[in-house]
Structure 1
Amino acid sequence: MIRACVLFLALLAPLPALAHNVISSVFPSGSDIEGEVGFSNGDMAADLLIEVFDAAGAKLGETRTDADGFFLFTPASPVTHVFRGDLGAGHVAEIRMEAAEVAQIMGESPIETAPAATGTTAPAAAAGLSDQSRAELARMLRTELRPLRQELTAFKNKSDFQSILGGIGYIFGLFGLGFYIAARRKIGSSA
């Protein structure tokens, strides 16, 4: 009887789904907005159409991801940008970059900023870098940081999956303890 109950409960227990999550992010990259789209298993969305909208839903433009799932978009106005890509099978990536961040990328002052202190200079200007040197340096940094961003996102998703499996293990352990106690009581009452 107990074996039949255990078998029945095992069949009813939900099995962990081996699903994957959509990973997506945007960040400033010189005078552009750079982003990435892919899945938590490491598969990146190559040649995916990314549509760009403002906060009200008006289309601002579109771009495509490269073979590594990265895209670049040059903003034309300092408004909130919403990047949306349909990866199929119900997976939609949607990422926002607020207007204040877009204004900083464009070299404009955000509306809610404090007045700038006098007598300060930008670090790049103090170092004497030309615009071309700064652009080349930004490109090199983007290229070098891409794998690091992907590894961090994959690690974050892996940690979440391990936590879920650990929780399921605790639940099964508690059920096992309950069955052990019930069996001991049954053996003790029949003796």
Structure 2
Amino acid sequence: MMRSWILGLALVVSCAAQAHLLKVFAYGEGGRVHGSVYFAGGGPATGASVQVLGIDGALLTTLTPDANGEFVYAPDGPRDLELLVDTGDGHQIRWPVRAEELSGGHPASQPVMAAEPSQSDQRQLLGLIEQAVARQVGPLRQELQQAQDRARLSDILGGLGMIFGIAGLAMWWRGRR
């Protein structure tokens, strides 16, 4: 009997731990990294620290999210980055940011407008279009990920069904003795 209660308690505790799953989302826009840190379910992880690492693992800077869990970082130039988010209580997660996402906002990547229409004008227009699309798509990707992370009614009912099923199995096992 004692074993079944321990098993049931372990399952309930593991479900509670899943409710505090740390999440991070970041995207490049205009040469900056925009991101947010939150727990599954939508609450911001305000006490977290965001370490920005180079591809070689070197620490570039440490950021602190605002009250909404959001942060912004402007690297020196387009380069591959990795964000390491740590809440200090055992929750930790990594998120990569590719250099291609950051290349649109740096002066070196945008040609200067020429007096006559040329290929540089076309490249500049393409750069402006990429920035506009990134500005619109980045927040949409973030909202989509947060919506997927929220607990749904089917998730809650499935968890309750599992608890009742294990409790029923434990009672059946106890009744056999």
Normalised TM-score (structure 2): 0.62
- Residues 55 and 144 of structure 1, relative CA distance in 2, 3 Å threshold: closer
Match runs of 1:1-191 below 5 Å: 5=1, 8-15=2-9, 16-17=12-13, 18-19=16-17, 20-46=20-46, 48-97=48-97, 101-107=98-104, 125=125, 149-155=145-151, 163-177=158-172, 182=176
1:80 positional shift: 2.6
Runs of at least 5 residues in structure 2 that lack an aligned partner in the other structure: 110-121
**Does the 8 Å CA contact 2:24/2:95 hold for their aligned counterparts?**
yes
1:32 positional shift: 1.9
Alpha-carbon distance between aligned partners in 1 of 2:63 and 2:6, rounded to the nearest angstrom: 46
> Any idea what SS the aligned residue of 1:35 has?
strand
Identity %: 23
Runs of at least 5 residues in structure 1 that lack an aligned partner in the other structure: 109-120, 184-191
1:39 positional shift: 1.5
1:68 positional shift: 0.9
Alpha-carbon distance between aligned partners in 2 of 1:40 and 1:162, rounded to the nearest angstrom: 17
Greater Cα radius of gyration, structure 1 or 2: 1
| Number of residue pairs matched by the alignment | 155
What is the CA deviation profile of residues 125-177 of structure 1, one whole-angstrom value per residue up to 9, with x for unaligned ones? Answer: 48xxx95x987886677667765543332247x76665444334333334445
CA RMSD of aligned residues (A): 3.8
Normalised TM-score (structure 1): 0.58
- Residues 28 and 43 of structure 1, relative CA distance in 2, 3 Å threshold: same
- Residues 172 and 84 of structure 1, relative CA distance in 2, 3 Å threshold: same
Letter in 1 for 2:6: L
